[in-house]
Structures are given as C-alpha cells and as structure tokens.
Amino acid sequence: GIYFSLVCSGAAHVCVLDGSNTHRIMYIKGTGGGTITLSGIHFKDGYQDEGGGLYILSAIVSFKGCKLSSNQATNEGGGIYTMESGTTVNLYMTTFVGNSATSNGNDINVGSNSVVTVYSNCPPDWSG
C-alpha cells in the first residue's frame, strides 16, 4: 500500500495549496490499504465538476487540523468528493469555510460505499 504524510510545520494553515479557481487541488486514488495523512494544510480555491478541493477514490486519507475554503464543484462535493468501497476519510479538527457545490455537498459529498468520520479532537499520536 501507499503510505505518506504531507505535513505543514509552523502555524496552522500557513501552507496553502491553491487551485486558483481553475482546477482541482488534489486527486487521491487507490492507496492499497495504506493511509495518506495531510496535516495543517489549507486547501483553497479549488474548482472542478466533482471534488473542487479533493477527489478521493478507493483510498484511506486522514486530515489533521486542515482547512478547506472557497472550493467549488459544478456538480457535487465542493470541498471533498469521495467515491467507491475502500474509501475511508477521517477528519480530525478540520474546518470547512465557504465551499460550494451546485448539486450536493457544499463541504463534502460522501459517494457510494465511502466512509467519512468527523472527530472533534485529534488522535493521541498527533503532536501538531
């Protein structure tokens, strides 16, 4: 499986991935049972038909202390769009601000057979 972490060190949300209102910020597909961890990152101004900020397909992804703002989808999932069995998304202290979708899920659209869990605090092993 695929395992990696993308961590922003320093103040929260100082690392910005910007879609410039023209394209999706990140597409994550098939981690093969591994987990991708995204920490302290600000995903903003993404634009796409589904998943303006991120499109997650058959993958396991954990967001820790991230922010998704002003992402747009012309269909579903302004901030995040998930799809397919095997897709698991864990949201730890992650905020959504001003995301929009024309059809469903301004902040997140949970597609078929996907699992999304929202936590109000971070896991014990998280230090930043």
**pLDDT, tens only, 36-83:** 999 999 999 999 999 999 999 999 999 999 999 999 999 999 999 999
Q: pTM of the full predicted structure?
A: 0.92
Cα–Cα distance, 29 to 74 (Å, whole number): 21
Residue 126 confidence (pLDDT) above 80: no
pLDDT digits (tens, 9 = 90+) for 81-120: 999 999 999 999 999 999 999 999 999 999 989 999 999 8
Amino acid at 113: N
